[in-house]
Copies of this chain bind each other. A is one copy, B any other.
C-alpha cells in the first residue's frame, strides 16, 4: 500500500490527502512533527534528501517528494489531468505559480502566525509576504472571473493545488472578500464529490 508522510495542518500534505480521497485510493498515513525535527532524521532524509513532507512512499519503497509532483504521479491517466497537451501545460503552469508566487506568501504567513511564537522575529516578514500573497490571489481572480476552474472548464489538480492554502488564507490574515470570483471558486471546489476538509485525519 502507498504510505504518505505528512503533517495534518500542512496544506501541501492536504493536497495529496484530498486527491487520494477523491480517487478512492487507500494509503497508509504517518504524521511527522515538522516542528521538532522529525523530517530531518537520517531515516527520513534517506526517503527525501530535502527533508520535507509530504513525501509519498510507493509499495516498492521508492519515494516521491514535492506535493505537486505527487499530485501529478497519482493523477496521470485520470480526469484530474486534462488529456490535451496545452491544457496539461496550463495545469502545470498553475501548479508552478502556486509553489513560486502563492505558497511562500500565503502558506508561510499562515505558518508564522499559527505555529511560531508571538514574538518570533519572522513576524517582520509578514507585510511583504502578505502583499505578495494578495498579488497572487489577484492573478487567480483575473482567471476565475472568466472561468469556472483554473484550467479549461473542469476540476483538475491545479484547483487542488491552489485550493489547499487559498481556502485557509484567513488564517494568514488575508481577507478574500475583494476577490469574489476566488470565493465562488472555493465553493465550487468544496462541492466536488468526495471532498474532505484539511482537518480530517486519515483513518
Select the stretch in A19-27, A66-74, A190-198 that faces chain B. A66-74
Does A143 sit within 8 A of B, measured CB to CB? yes
Q: Is the interface of A mostly helix, strand, loop or mixed?
A: helix
Say which residue of B64, B88, B93, B103 sits within 8 Å of A86 (CB atoms).
Answer: B64
Q: Is the CB of A50 within 8 A of B97?
A: yes
Q: Is the CB of B69 within 8 A of A89?
A: yes
Does A104 sit within 8 A of B, measured CB to CB? yes
Does A183 sit within 8 A of B, measured CB to CB? no
Does A92 sit within 8 A of B, measured CB to CB? yes
Q: Which residue of B lies closest to A99 (CB)?
A: B100
Residues of B within 8 A of A90 (CB): 64, 69
Does A76 sit within 8 A of B, measured CB to CB? yes
Residues of B within 8 A of A49 (CB): 139, 142-143
Interface size class of A (residues with CB under 8 A): 20 to 34
Residues of B within 8 A of A142 (CB): 49
Does A96 sit within 8 A of B, measured CB to CB? yes
Q: Is the CB of B58 within 8 A of A101?
A: no
Residues of B within 8 A of A73 (CB): 85-86, 88-89, 92
Does A186 sit within 8 A of B, measured CB to CB? no
CA of A49 to CA of B90, assembled, Å: 13
Q: Is the CB of B85 within 8 A of A69?
A: no
Does A65 sit within 8 A of B, measured CB to CB? yes
CA of A97 to CA of B64, assembled, Å: 12
12 further A-B pairs in the complex, CB-CB below 8 A; given A69-B92, A69-B96, A72-B89 = A49-B143, A64-B89, A64-B90, A66-B100, A67-B96, A69-B89, A73-B89, A92-B92, A96-B96, A99-B99, A99-B100, A100-B103
* A-B pairs with lowest CB-CB distance, top 3: A73-B89, A66-B96, A69-B92
